[in-house]
Structure formats: C-alpha cells, structure tokens
Amino acid sequence: MDNIVGTKSRLVWVVNLSALALVLLWLFPTFGLLVSSFRDRDQITASGWWKAMFPAEQTLQYRAPGAGDAVDENGVFVISGNVFEGGRGSVKSFGTSARDPGAFPAGETVPADDGADLTVLQNGDFRLTSATEFEGRRGMRIFVTSVTPPRFTFENYGRVLGAEGLGRAFLNTMTVSIPATVIPILVAAFAAYALAWMEFPGRALLVAGVVGLLVVPLQLALIPLLKLHNEIGLGKSYLGIWLAHTGFGLPLAVYLLRNYMVGLPREIIESARVDGATDFQIFLKIILPLSFPALASFAIFQFLWTWNDLLVALVFLGNTQDQLVMTGQLKELMGSRGGDWEILATSAFVTIAVPLVVFFAMQKYLVRGLLAGSVK
Amino acid sequence: MKARMMAGAAMLALIAGGAQAQDLKFTPGEDARFHWDSYEAFGAAHDLSGQSLRIDGPWGGIDKELFQSVIAYFEAATGADVEYTGGDGFEQRVMIDVEAGSPPGLAVVPQPGLAADLAARGQLAPLPATTADWLRENYAAGQSWVDLATYAGADGQEALYGFFYKVDVKSLVWYVPENFEDAGYDVPETMEDLRALTDQIVADGDTPWCIGLGSGPATGWPATDWVEDMMLRVNSPADYDAWVANDLKFDDPKVVAAIEEFGWFARNDAHVAGGAGAVGSTDFRDSPKGLFQFPPQCYMHRQASFIPSFFPEGTFVGEDVDFFYFPAYADRDLGRPVLGAGTLFVVTEDSPVAQAFIEFLQTPIAHEVWMAQSGFLTPHKGVNTETYGDPTLRKMGDILLEADTFRFDGSDLMPGAIGAGVFWTGMVDYTAGGDAATIAAEIQRTWDSLK
C-alpha cells in the first residue's frame, strides 16, 4: 500500500514539474517581448532584454559638425560639441576609425585626420582642434563606446497605434469580431434547443448533418462564397465577413450547445411544459440561463478565432484603411518593418491584449462548458 | 543619435500627414524641370469626372504614399476618382479577386509570370497595339519591355498585356565609403578586383560580406539574385535567356558554375558575417545592418536598389552609405550586364478610365513626380533626368543606361513552382552545404515534372 501511495506522489511531482516547465517555456519569451516593447531601438540593438535593468554599453557613431561650424580661437580652429547631443550617458572610450572604435580612453587627446587633434571627455564633450582651417561640409566621424542608463518608454506604443496604423486596425478587428461572435451564438442557441428538445421528423438526420459539416474545410468555400457575395451585391464588406464567420462557426456552435442542452435535466423542462410554458418561454427562461457556461465557452472560442483570423479577412474584406484588420496590418508591418523589433514586439502586445482580457474574464466557464458539452 | 531619431520621427509624421492631404506635391507649372506641358495636354484630352478606378498592387508603406502622390496628378487632370488599395499579400489577393469576380480596375504585378498566368486565364484586357509601338519608341531597350509583357491570352492569341512602370536595378553592392577610406580600400572595377578585395579584407582580419537569405515563406530569394547576376557574368546573355526558358537545363555545367561562383562568396566562413551557416537564417532585412556597426561586421552587401528602406533610420544614401556596380569579369568579354526587375500595370477590368491611366503612365510627368521623390527608376527616354530627387538615383539610372545587357530577374520569369519554389529552397540547401550539381539536378527534375 505504501508503495502505491509513493508512486502516486512521485507522479504528481512529475506532472507539476512538467506543467511548471511548460508555463515557463511560454512565459519566458513572452515576458522578453513585453520588456522589449518598452525599450527603444538603440537599446534593443545594444543589449538583450534580460539586461534591460542595467546600464548598457554601446558603440555609437557621432558625426561632428562640418567646417561651417568651426570657430577661430586665436589662430586655432576649433569644432566642439557633445556626442550625446544633450542626452545622458558616459563615455568609456572613443576612436576615430570604424575599425577600432574604442581605441582611446575618455579624456585623452589624440591625433585625428588632416592634422587635427581630438579630445572626448567622459561627459561626452568633445573638442576638435586644428592649426589649419577645416574643410568639407560633412564633419568627421567620432566613435564612442558609452554607458547609457536603462530607460523605458511608451513611445513605441504611441507610434504603433498612431503612425503605423494599428489603432485603426484594432477598431476594424473589433468591428469584425464582436458581431461575428454574437450572431452565431444567437442562431446556434435556437437551433440547439430545437435539435435537443423539440420532437420533429428528421431531427437525428439534421444533427448528423451538422456533425458532418464540422469536418468540411472552410477553405473550400472561400471563393464560391465571395462570388456569391459579389453577385448579390454584398461585395467585400463587413456584412459579408459577419455572414462568412457566422457560417463557418455555426456547425461547431450548434454541436456544442446541443450536446450541452441535451444533458439538462428532462424533469425541469417537462414540468415547465406541464405548467403550460411554450417552447419559446422554456428556451428563454430555463434553457438559456442554464446553458450559460456552454454559451460562454463557445463565445471565447469564436471570439479568439475571429480575432486571430487572417485568411477569412483577406478574402472577404478589402485592404483599405477602413477595412484592414489587425492581423493584416501586422503582416504588412512584418514586411515593411521586419527588422524593427521594438515595433513588432509592441504590435504583438497590442494584439494579444484583448484576447488575454477575454480569456481571464471568462476562463472559469471555458473548462466547465467544454466538459459539460462533450462528456455526458 | 537622439536628434537623428527625432528627425526620423518628424519625417514619418510628414509622410503620414501627406497621405491625408491628397494635394499635389509639386505645383503644376512651377518647377521648370518637369514636363508640365505633358500634364496639361493629358488633362485637356481626358475628362473622366465621376468615373472611378481601383488599383491593387504590392506597394505598401512608403511606396504606397509615393504612388498615391502620382495618382493625385491623374485625379487632378481628369477628375476621375482613383483608389489604390495595395499592400502585402498582393499575389494571393489578386487571384482571389479575379476568380471571385470582383477584380480591381488595374493591377500592379511584380512578376511577369503572374501576369502571364492571369492573361492565360482570360482575366486581362489586352492593351491597344499603339502602346507596343509607343514602348518600342520611348523606352530604353523598348523591344525587351514589350517582349516581357506579351503573353498568350485565353484564346492562345499573343498580345501586349502589361505596361512596365518603375524598375529596380539589382546588380548593386552597398558599402560605407568612410569605412573603405579608413581601411584604405578602393571600389573594385572588375570581378577579379572584387574577389581580390574580398581576400584582402579577410587577410586584414575583417569580414567582407553580409549575406542574408531569410524572408519568411520566400526565404532564399536573395540567393537567386546572386546566381542570376553570376549567370550573366560567366555566361552569355543568350545562355541566360535559354536558362530562363529551360532550353538550357538547370543542371547544365554552365548553370552549376554560376551557382558555384555564388558559393565562393557565400559558403566560405571567412567571407560572410556570422559564417556560412548564418546565411540561410539571417533575415535579408537585417543583413545590411552589419555595415553600420562599429567595428563593421562586414564591408559589402549585394542587394537591389530598394534596400535603403531597411537601413537604420537617418542613414543618408550617397553620404553615409553608397553603392557600386556589381562588376563583371574583365577577361570574359561579356560587357557590363545588369540584372533588374520591374512592376507592370495590367488591366484586370477594362474601362475607359483604366485605359486612360495606362495612357497617363506614358506621359513624362507620371514618371517625373515619383523620380523627384525617391526610390524610382524609369527606362522612359522622354523624362528629364534632372528631376531625380537625389544623385544616387541618377547614378543608378546611369548604371541602367550604361548596361550592355539588361536582363530581367530570371526567377520572376520562371514558372512559380521553380522561381518561387524549388529555386529558393534549393539555394538555401546549397548555402547550408549541399552539392551544387545535385541541387541543380533536383531543380531540373521538378521543372521536368511541370511539363
């Protein structure tokens, strides 16, 4: 007996540890993205997100002003300024050649091009002196290896929502997702009640038909359906995509809700009938409140699916500003700003914000509704 | 650094602002460099008020704003209402749209292969015969542009279906002039020099090249450009044409030699930043960044004329970074071949306003407005090259004009399964260490299976 108990507890440990490992595996990169979304481009290139809390060492190129800004100080020509241009930082070392950007420690005076001398102080002030006049419109390059303090910013979010057009796309996605979640639930709840509790010939066949539809890939229907929309004058519009999402979501919705409703106690419904309630009253007053977990779990599914959907949106909606959904906008950003991690990380967080809220607000119904619907 | 970023942000804000105000970038009649007479004449000949046109194409982001600034002139001249709805995923979108019966009026197609496919399905309206004559007369190497846009329709009848507008030069090597100065390198004039420079940089303890093939589902395409460029540098233009048409087999020793030329650059750990193993996995948009690091991760980057969009913000082309022509072998006597690409306008739904827009693209002003901004090259001989917005564009234009041979990007002309399929993946396998002859033979097998 001791043996068995021992095995069991060890198994529990294994399960818990693997769950923990999986959670960490998912959370770790997500957290990294979150941190990155608050850092600016220079910091991201200079150091990894796990170093975000520490001062970062990075090598910058600063271009000194051209000959036009030189000042004549008693026969010596001087160009001066600050390599941080007013920003904060501290120079560790500097150089005049890209091949060896950290050649000299801060504070030293070293020979630069064309007989000039260069000094860079720790606070970033530099002084370029020459006995002869400077030439050229473009000044020389000064490379500094600097230590910049950690900095976090909301600029990325402002930029993504405004200039990069994600704000508008966010609203478009909302316009698609909310009706595309509500309409199928309304239709499916009625249908599920009828299939579960109303006696009529061919009911079993209809249920079988719905189950059969579950396995039809929606990709098959895309072009013919769009053709139909074009012929009846819907074209590429929000109404079109609501109808499409409704159609694609209905089989699962009807199946899930019907299975749940069949499991409700027959006695309640029959006693209501005896008391003279009509089918509509039974549906509204008894079935609907009792089916809330199933409705909620389907709503989460449908909402997440329409929120993350790209394929259906690409087909049934145009790609103008007022119709482009967030997944489409993200895809565009990947193309045009594929190397800008701060933009992509920020976009990712804007995208997952709503699904996260929906999931945490309704997750207690998710498991309950699913289990109740499938395991009878 | 900060001031630069602010400048970048200010520029973005300017661009965003320009998108909302659909007014004309350059006031008609004001700047004498522009052919305003062509604008006036076009406006006088066309009155399309109340008509509308939808154009779909692959240009998103900044290119979209620029193209919209060109459209604004068409709208002002004719009174028509034109909407450009392009962006990422154009290739799939246009197929869905024409199949479902809601095509745009005009489509801007980046691959002639796709346009040929649409024409064969009977989804395109042919352009009038006079357009072909116009192209022969007014475009540099006019006949080749006509040939590239002539396809068989659904009835098998050959006709001109596309009008090329906006071309790219691909045979460019990008470098940072000041890094070259610091290290004492000269811009190579011949392929022999380029190879010597590569060896020289390695001998100096640095890395000469940044090469990245990553591009999501299209990973591998930058390698096909390399191979095409090499094809033109070790084989004759006739061989190149035969190769694109598969009259010269993919596993022919001539093609394998071109692939191995590319391998000399990309498969040597000392030649590429991050080593040969990183070539396949580095994103092509990230790869040029090595040029701008200190100390530089690499000194050269071979990429088409569009790549400055992916340089760090605040980089001035022509000053911070410049380019030189990807040179040819001095001892092979193949001239100065140039590889390029371009976008062509096709009529997906015929209407007077769509045809008028194609006519508008024949006016010099439609080219000059974009030239005067950025990222636009044209083979139109009637434009005033003074209007090029910056000297680098003019330099690219010169490369185009000085070319002895101009060839269109071969992978865009090959069947999709090859040029946008096994050629890409095959080149990724090759950089990962596969054998050139074996990979070429595999690509040829796929091509055979298509016939």
Per DSSP bridges, beta strands B52-56 and B81-84 are parallel
Task: Check: CB of residue B220 under 8 Å from CB of residue B424.
Answer: yes
Q: What is the CATH number of the domain that holds B139?
A: 3.40.190.10
Q: Does B45 touch chain A (CB under 8 A)?
A: no
Give B374 to chain A, closest Cα distance, Å.
16
Alpha helices in B361-413 (DSSP H): 364-371, 391-402, 410-413
Cross-sheet strand order for the sheet of A56-63: A56-63, A141-148, A90-95, A104-105
3-class secondary structure per residue, B33-102: CCCHHHHHHHHHHCCCCCCEEEEECCCCHHHHHHHHHHHHHHHHHHCCEEEECCCCCHHHHHHHHHHHCC
Compute the C-alpha angle A175/A177/A183, nearest 5°.
100
Residue B309 has pLDDT above 80, yes or no: no
Residue B315 within a domain: yes
Looking at the structure, tell me whether residues B116 and B86 fall in a common domain: yes
Tokens representing residue A147 in the block:
């230590």
Tokens representing residue B22 in the block:
């659909």
Cis omega before residue B295 (within 30°)? yes
3-state secondary structure of B412: helix
Looking at the structure, tell me whether residues B261 and B326 fall in a common domain: yes
**Least confident among A336-345, B3-12, B57-66, B226-235:** B3-12
pLDDT tens profile B374-389: 778 888 888 888 888 7
Q: Does B22 touch chain A (CB under 8 A)?
A: no
Residue B327 within a domain: yes
Looking at the structure, tell me whether residues B235 and B353 fall in a common domain: no
DSSP string, B110-122: S-HHHHHHHHHTT
Domain-ending residue, one of B391, B407, B423: B407
Looking at the structure, tell me whether residues B185 and B321 fall in a common domain: yes
DSSP state of B377: B
Looking at the structure, tell me whether residues B163 and B26 fall in a common domain: yes
Range A158-374 has CATH code 1.20.1260.10: no
pTM value surpassing 0.90 = no
Looking at the structure, tell me whether residues B296 and B384 fall in a common domain: no
Give A97 to chain B, closest Cα distance, Å.
6
CB–CB of B183 and A99 under 8 A? yes
Nearest by CB to residue B89, choosing from A45, A231, A331, is: A331
Compute the C-alpha angle A73/A76/A81, nearest 5°.
70
Cross-sheet strand order for the sheet of B300-302: B300-302, B172-175, B322-325
pLDDT value for A228: 92
Q: How far apart are CA B248 and CA A98, in angstroms?
A: 46
Q: How far apart are CA B341 and CA B169, in angstroms?
A: 7
pLDDT value for B211: 93
Tokens representing residue B208 in the block:
């000469």
pLDDT tens profile B207-221: 999 999 988 778 898
Give A62 to chain B, closest Cα distance, Å.
7
Give chain A's count of helices (H) and strands (E): 14, 9
pLDDT value for A163: 80
Looking at the structure, tell me whether residues B245 and B331 fall in a common domain: yes
Compute the C-alpha angle B178/B182/B188, nearest 5°.
70
Listed residue (A67, A15, A16, A30) closest to A348, CA to CA: A30
Residue B12 pLDDT level (bands cut at 50, 70, 90): very low
Query: Which residues from A are below 8 Å from B295, CB to CB?
Result: 98-101
Alpha helices in A215-265 (DSSP H): 222-231, 238-262
Task: Check: CB of residue B240 under 8 Å from CB of residue B410.
Answer: yes
CA distances from B275 to A100, B211, B278, B433 (A): 21, 10, 6, 12
CB–CB of B319 and A338 under 8 A? no
- DSSP H or E segment with residue B405: strand B405-408
Residue B104 within a domain: yes
Alpha helices in B152-252 (DSSP H): 177-183, 191-203, 221-234, 237-244
Nearest by CB to residue A100, choosing from B60, B88, B295, is: B295
3-state secondary structure of B152: strand
Range of the domain at B62: 15-169+341-407
ipTM of the complex, rounded to two decimals:
0.71
State the average pLDDT over residues B99-118. 88
Looking at the structure, tell me whether residues B300 and B334 fall in a common domain: yes
Compute the C-alpha angle A90/A92/A96, nearest 5°.
110
Q: How far apart are CA A73 and CA B159, in angstroms?
A: 74
State the average pLDDT over residues B56-80. 88
Mean pLDDT of the residues in chain B: 86
Residue A290 makes CB contacts below 8 A (sequence gap 6+) with A264
Listed residue (B38, B44, B72, B57) closest to B103, CA to CA: B57
Listed residue (B24, B129, B26, B46) closest to B357, CA to CA: B46
Q: How far apart are CA A146 and CA A89, in angstroms?
A: 6
Looking at the structure, tell me whether residues B187 and B302 fall in a common domain: yes
Domain ranges (residues) in chain A: 2-51, 56-148, 158-374
Query: Which of B313 and B66 is assigned the larger pLDDT?
Result: B66
pLDDT value for B140: 78
Tokens representing residue B169 in the block:
């030069």
Q: How far apart are CA A309 and CA A176, in angstroms?
A: 10
Listed residue (B318, B311, B269) closest to B290, CA to CA: B311
In chain A, which stretches have pLDDT less than 50?
1, 375-376
Residue B1 has pLDDT above 60, yes or no: no
Q: Does B92 touch chain A (CB under 8 A)?
A: yes
- DSSP H or E segment with residue A160: helix A155-161
Task: Check: CB of residue B180 under 8 Å from CB of residue B200.
Answer: no
Query: Which residues from A are below 8 Å from B83, CB to CB?
Result: 320
Tokens representing residue A370 in the block:
């699913």
Cα torsion B419, B420, B421, B424 to 10°: value is 80
CB–CB of B296 and A98 under 8 A? yes
Looking at the structure, tell me whether residues B294 and B426 fall in a common domain: yes
pLDDT tens profile B256-307: 999 999 999 999 899 999 888 889 888 888 888 889 887 888 999 999 888 8
Looking at the structure, tell me whether residues B146 and B211 fall in a common domain: no
Q: How far apart are CA B266 and CA B430, in angstroms?
A: 10
Per DSSP bridges, beta strands B172-175 and B106-109 are unpaired
Tokens representing residue B124 in the block:
């395109």
Residue B401 makes CB contacts below 8 A (sequence gap 6+) with B140
Listed residue (A351, A326, A318, A345) closest to A226, CA to CA: A318
Q: How far apart are CA B308 and CA B293, in angstroms?
A: 16
Q: How far apart are CA A57 and CA A146, in angstroms?
A: 6
Phi, psi values for residue A51, rounded to 5°: -105, 15
Residues in chain B: 451
Q: Residue B270 corresponds to which amino acid?
A: A
Nearest by CB to residue B60, choosing from A42, A231, A336, is: A336
Chain centroid to Cα A112, Å, comes to: 48
Residue B227 makes CB contacts below 8 A (sequence gap 6+) with B258, B259, B262, B427
CB–CB of A338 and B16 under 8 A? no
Tokens representing residue B19 in the block:
């998108």
CB–CB of A85 and B100 under 8 A? no
3-state secondary structure of A337: coil
Looking at the structure, tell me whether residues B144 and B21 fall in a common domain: yes
Residue B151 has pLDDT above 50, yes or no: yes
Query: Which of B3 and B265 is assigned the larger pLDDT?
Result: B265
CB–CB of B294 and A331 under 8 A? no
Q: Residue B11 corresponds to which amino acid?
A: M
Q: How far apart are CA B153 and CA B116, in angstroms?
A: 8
Query: Which of B78 and A340 is assigned the larger pLDDT?
Result: B78
pLDDT value for B21: 38
pLDDT value for A371: 61
Query: Which residues from A are below 8 Å from B319, CB to CB?
Result: 138
Residue B9 pLDDT level (bands cut at 50, 70, 90): very low
Query: Which residues from A are below 8 Å from B213, CB to CB?
Result: none
Task: Check: CB of residue B413 under 8 Å from CB of residue B419.
Answer: yes
Q: How far apart are CA B421 and CA B446, in angstroms?
A: 10
Q: Does B52 touch chain A (CB under 8 A)?
A: no
Q: How far apart are CA A45 and CA A341, in angstroms?
A: 9
Residue B318 within a domain: yes
DSSP string, A25-90: HHHHHHHHHHHHTTS-HHHHHHS-GGGTTS-EEEEEEEEPP-GGG-EEETTEEEEEEETTTT---E
Nearest by CB to residue B285, choosing from A320, A328, A339, is: A339
Give chain B's count of helices (H) and strands (E): 19, 11
3-state secondary structure of B136: helix
DSSP state of A219: G
Task: Check: CB of residue A49 under 8 Å from CB of residue A35.
Answer: yes
Residue B361 has pLDDT above 50, yes or no: yes
Residues in chain A: 376
Count of domains forming chain B: 2
- Percent of the residues in chain B that have a pLDDT greater than 70, as a whole number: 95
CB–CB of B96 and A315 under 8 A? yes
Query: Which residues from B are below 8 Å from A334, CB to CB?
Result: 88, 216
